[in-house]
Chains A and B, each alone.
Chain A
Amino acid sequence: MAKIDFRLNGTDISVDCDLSERLLDFLRTKAGNTGVKEGCGEGECGACAVLMEGRIINSCMMPMANVIHKNIVTIEGFAKTERFKILEKAFSETGGVQCGFCTPGMIIASESLLNSNPHPNDDEIKIGLSGNLCRCTGYNMIIDAVKLASKLGEGLW
């Protein structure tokens, strides 16, 4: 066990944890951030995606040791932002949500993509989302959602 400091959803926290513990488990069981999902546990599906320093990472592959002094944002934290509201509107209007299990990860992936590229083209969106698996939608409506968010959120990213 070790004491580590990091920032979670805008708040600086100090926690006792095993350094090899997965960030995913910490977030879900200790921080109550159950919007972060476990789909495969191998870094393949992206359901556990969170932002670290503004970039998407898979929290199932991230030991707590690597989180020290980092800025982590989960869907719960991101849901409080203006950018989230735009993405929510876009995903709703295009039909980008079905079972919803991949959705928080998709939102995080979209944020990470738009953050680095506010006006992505189709191929860039596909690459940006290719680390997040969705079994329900066939992706087209999600791709449309990112395009719509890029338009609606002009100036936000």
Chain B
Amino acid sequence: MSDISKSINKVDNHEKISGKAKYVSDLFFAGQLYAYSIRSTIAKGIIKAKKVPMLPEGYQIVDYRDVPGNNYVKMIFDDQVVFPETNVTYIGEPIMLLIGPDKEEILALVKQIEIVYEAEEPLFAWTQSAIHYHFDKGEGNLPFARAKKIISYEYETGYQEQAYIEPQGMSGYLDEDKVTLYGSIQCPYYVKNALINCLGVSPNKIRVIQATVGGAFGGKEEFPSLIACQLAVAILKIQKPIKMIYEREEDIISTTKRHPAKIAIKAAIDKEGKISAIQAHVGINGGANIGLSGVVLSRAMIAATGAYTIDNLDIEGDVYLTNTVPNGAFRGFGAPQMLFAIEMFLEHIAKDLGVDPLTYRMQYLAKQNDLTSTSGTFRDPIVMPEMIKKAIEVSSFKEKAKLYQNNNLFRGIGMSFFLHGCGFTGSGEQNHIKAVVRLKKDEFDVVHILIAAVDMGQGVRTTMRKLVAKVLGIGIEQVTYNLPDTDFVPDSGPTVASRTMMIVGGLVARCAKKLKDNWQKSREQICEEVYKQPEYVKWNEDKMQGDAYPAYSWGVNVVEVEVDNDTFVVTPKHIWSVYDLGKAIDERVVLGQADGGIAQGIAYGYLEVMEIETGKIRQKNLTDYIIPTASDMPPMETYIFDNPYALGPYGAKGVGELTLVGGAPAIAKAIEMAIKHKVTKIPATPEYIMELINHGKN
């Protein structure tokens, strides 16, 4: 049998290339109306009046008064309202919907609506902590008392917008008394559960169906539940099909983004120049509500020592609430912020001690059986030394580093080491998600994969079918996998956290094996698997102690750059990546994830600028929020190391997020080498580089 990694033609290539694939905005229902959001123009205040002109027939307003159930979007906390009743808490917050048959007319009417506010003093400073976490490892901060030297730095990371090319949107109708919604979503059951809560109806009165998703990157994890709740309330009230597609500007100003972070780290250095302890504080800006920020913070903190083992740690963090757009899930989920900080920090310690950064970092690389940051165990083999060797060879890292360090060529090369915990943090899979997968074989011996995992471009419709076909020893055409529809698929959990292939695919593979063992020709058979946490995984959520993840993927990125010595514009010249993701279920799919992930990762480090001033986002469209174009991307080479994980299907671990998290530190180190000044903030824009050259530390 051929190796499962050998690539096949993706099953959705034809429908996507020919334009036949139906995204949510491509669905038209008879008699469909359009919905448009009226948004807060102030950062904080009380709504005193909503002045709505006489609306023509067929046009209606929908607001909090129409919510039949609970007026909040069910997630972890109950602090995101469906529609605000009296208080607005950020600019862009959707207050109500205007609904009607003609889009142009709606836009004209929206201009005549006036919301009267009593403005309140908004909070923009990071002072109000909504969540505080802390954990220690080993002796905690005790080694600081006997340290020979203490080295400390502060790092800052900016916003990042997911910038999926397809804006957010949903469309739906009432099917008798059942609300049916199609959406550009990552998590059909998050949406369904949110609807049950806000409509106050039983689960069988809600149906959520995934439309083809035009990119998501975490941006369509929790946010679509808000759109869904608002739209469903409107559909129930008006009893007609309604569509709500965000315009790009609405999407940029009002949807969740990557949390800006401020990370202060200090290291206790002993008399041999070794790190005896690290103390860090991770602050992230949650925006106007908590949402997923606590989970983002915990992932950031758990990544505190990146790919290294440090014996003594004292790590704490806070989610700060401010009157700004709520932040949320974005590929990497807290890890990119922390990995930038720790990767730069080790580099900076080495430089301050006057030793070679690469050699210095290598001595701290995590090894099998080492304790993780949260005192769990790295149980599986770690092949980072071999991976690093490969990265150094293919990129000529050492020769280039020597050349660039010793000359003023405005060239630099940077290398990051990193890991990414696969699946939900801690006991999330076991306690919160409880994934169920189902395979159904019909009388024609066609096997249907019934799971809620969404293909948002990462190729899961192909890889999941390939996996089942391989286990069963049948052709991929004998296996189906339709876009998830909650009326037909069980809740296999959200499509997030690099869990789809490792966790859901693992269950699917075990289910397929069971089906194979009991295969009865021409008979209908159904087979189910439910997630069970491996017994050895122990996690104490309150103390943040134990195995935060069942497995880890690992990576090395090398980025070479040129910095213009007049304009300080950074040009990436070449990227090399080496990954251990267990086993690729389809090599080309993985290479595609690798290319796209690092493109977003380096852009986070040098290009993508989003600024907020008195609560208002200054970038409003893809004209001023700049993401890489074809001209910005250098050649990329990716090498995959097989290192199969026992519980992953064919050994597969997580891929999607891993490929993003190392990009920013790699390019920041390259820039640092090119300009010979320490980079402590991303994005490293030309303005910042100029500031560093004029006033920065060497």
User: CB of B664 within 8 A of chain A?
Assistant: no
Q: Which of A28, A40, A87, A143 meets B248, CB within 8 Å?
A: A40
Question: What chain A residues lie within 8 Å of B28 (beta carbons)?
Answer: 29
Distance to closest chain A CB from B452 (angstroms) = 18
Determine if B600 is an interface residue (Cβ-Cβ < 8 Å): yes
Query: Which of B13, B457, B629 lies in contact with A99, CB distance below 8 A?
Result: B457
Scoring B residues 5 to 41 as 1 if CB is less than 8 Å from chain A, else 0, what string do you get?
A: 0010110111111111111011010000000000000
B13 touching A92, Cβ below 8 Å? yes
- B-binding segment of A31-39, A51-59, A64-72: A31-39
Any B CB within 8 A of the CB of A114: no
B631 touches A44 (CB 8 A): no
CA distance A157 to B392 in the complex (A): 42
Do A97 and B10 touch (CB < 8 A)?
Answer: yes
- Say whether A98 faces chain B, with CB atoms less than 8 Å apart: yes
CB distance from B226 to the nearest CB of A (A): 21
Query: Which of the segments B211-219, B471-479, B533-541 contacts the partner chain?
Result: B211-219
Choose the segment among B75-83, B160-168, B281-289 that binds chain A (4+ C-beta atoms closer than 8 Å): B160-168
A23 interface contact, C-beta 8 A: no
Contacts A75-B19, A97-B17, A136-B215 given; does A41 touch B248 at CB 8 Å: yes
Chain A contacts of B19 at CB under 8 A?
33-36, 74-76, 79, 103-104
How far apart are the CA atoms of A129 and B592 in the complex, in Å? 18
Determine if B628 and A100 form an interchain contact, defined as CB atoms under 8 angstroms apart: no
Q: Which residue from chain A places its CB closest to the CB of B588 in the assembled complex? A: A95
Residue numbers in A under 8 Å from B458 (CB-CB)? 98
Q: Which stretch in B115-123, B138-146, B619-627 binds the other chain?
A: B619-627
* Residue A4 CB within 8 A of the other chain: no
Q: Taking the nearest CB of chain B, how far is it from the CB of A87, in angstroms?
A: 7
B635 within 8 A of A: yes
Q: B247: CB under 8 A from chain A?
A: yes
Which residues of chain B are within 8 angstroms of A126 by Cβ–Cβ distance?
629-631, 633
Q: Report the minimal beta-carbon distance from A17 to chain B, rounded to whole angstroms.
A: 13
Within 75-104 of A, Cβ neighbours of B (below 8 Å) are at 75-76, 79, 84, 87-88, 91-93, 95, 97-104
- Cβ A41 vs Cβ B247 within 8 A: yes
- Taking a contact as CB atoms under 8 Å apart, the answer to whether B622 and A44 are in contact is yes
Minimal Cβ-Cβ distance residue in B for A123: B631
- Given known contacts A135-B217, A135-B600, A139-B628, A99 and B166 CB-to-CB distance under 8 angstroms: yes
Decide if B592 touches A100 in the complex (CB within 8 Å). Answer: no
Q: Could you say which residues of chain A place their CB within 8 Å of the CB of B214? A: 37, 99-101
CB of B501 closer than 8 Å to a CB of A: no
| Contact across chains for A98 and B457 when beta carbons are under 8 A apart | yes
Q: Which residues 571-600 of B sit at the A interface, judged by CB distance below 8 A? A: 588-589, 591-592, 595-600
**Distance in angstroms between the alpha carbons of A112 and B166 in the assembled complex:** 23
Complex interface: chain A residues within 8 A of B247 (CB): 41
Q: How far is the CA of A137 from the CA of B19 in the complex (A)?
A: 18
Q: Considering the complex, which residues of chain A in the window 115-155 have a beta carbon less than 8 Å from any beta carbon of chain B? A: 125-127, 129-143
Does B459 lie at the interface of the complex (its beta carbon under 8 Å from any beta carbon of A)?
yes
Mostly helix, strand, loop or mixed at chain B's interface? loop
A99–B164 touching, CB < 8 Å: yes
Q: Are B165 and A45 in contact (CB under 8 A)?
A: yes
Are B18 and A140 touching (Cβ within 8 A)? no
Cross-interface CB contact of B165 among A33, A99, A127, cutoff 8 Å = A99
The reply to whether the CB of B636 lies closer than 8 angstroms to some CB of chain A is yes
Chain B residues within 8 Å of A88, by CB: 13-14, 17-18
Contacts of A93 in B (CB 8 A): 9
Q: Is the interface of A mostly helix, strand, loop or mixed?
A: loop
The count of residues in chain A whose C-beta lies closer than 8 Å to any C-beta of chain B is 53
CA distance A100 to B215 in the complex (A): 8
Identify which of residues 594-641 in chain B touch chain A, using a CB-to-CB cut-off of 8 Å. 595-600, 621-623, 627-631, 633, 635-636
CA A125 to CA B599, docked complex, whole Å: 18
Asked whether A8 is an interface residue with its Cβ less than 8 Å from the other chain, the reply is: no
Q: Quote the shortest CB–CB distance from A38 to chain B (angstroms).
A: 7
Most chain A CB within 10 A, of B16, B18, B165, B216, is at B165
Per the bound structure, the CA–CA distance linking A97 and B23 in Å amounts to 15
Task: Check if B456 is an interface residue, CB within 8 A of chain A.
Answer: yes
With beta carbons under 8 angstroms apart, the residue of B217, B457, B630 that contacts A143 is: B630
Residues of A contacting B14 in the complex (Cβ-Cβ under 8 angstroms): 88, 92
Contact B13 A97, beta carbon cutoff 8 Å: yes
Q: Is the CB of A99 within 8 A of B456?
A: yes
CB–CB A79/B215 < 8 A: no
> B592 near A136 (CB under 8 angstroms)?
yes
Distance in angstroms from B33 CB to nearest chain A CB is 14
Q: Chain B 153-175 against A: per-residue CB contact (8 Å), 1 yes, 0 no?
A: 00000000011111100000000
Report the Cα distance A110→B248, complex, angstroms: 25
C-alpha spacing A141/B623, complex, angstroms:
24
Complex Cα spacing A134 to B165, Å = 7
Contact B26 A103 (CB under 8 A): no
Chain B residues whose C-beta falls within 8 Å of the C-beta of A91 in the assembled complex: 13, 17
Chain B min CB distance to A150 (Å):
15
What separation, in Å, do the CA atoms of A129 and B623 have in the docked complex? 16
* Closest chain A residue to B601, Cβ basis: A138
Residue from A101, A127, A129, A137 in contact with B166 in the complex, judged by beta carbons closer than 8 Å: A101
Query: Given A39-B166, A44-B622, A136-B596, A100–B636 Cβ distance below 8 Å?
Result: no
Nearest A residue to B458 via CB reads A98
A8 to chain B, nearest CB (A): 14
Complex interface: chain B residues within 8 A of A132 (CB):
630
Q: Which chain A positions have C-beta within 8 A of B588?
A: 95
Q: Are A127 and B215 in contact (CB under 8 A)?
A: no
Query: In the complex, what's the smallest C-beta–C-beta distance from B182 to chain A, in angstroms?
Result: 14
Q: Which of B7, B10, B165, B598 contacts A102 (CB 8 A)?
A: B165
Residue of A nearest to B251 (CB): A40
CA distance A102 to B629 in the complex (A): 12
Q: Nearest 7 pairs between A and B by C-beta?
A: A35-B19, A100-B16, A101-B214, A99-B457, A138-B599, A98-B457, A138-B595
Query: Can you show 20 pairs from A to B with CB atoms below 8 A apart?
Result: A28-B26, A37-B214, A40-B621, A75-B18, A88-B18, A91-B17, A99-B165, A99-B166, A99-B212, A100-B15, A125-B630, A129-B630, A135-B217, A135-B596, A137-B599, A138-B599, A139-B628, A139-B633, A140-B633, A140-B636
* Further pairs besides A107-B17, A133-B165: 14, Cβ < 8 Å: A37-B166, A37-B214, A42-B248, A79-B18, A87-B17, A100-B12, A100-B16, A103-B16, A133-B627, A135-B217, A138-B596, A138-B628, A139-B599, A139-B629
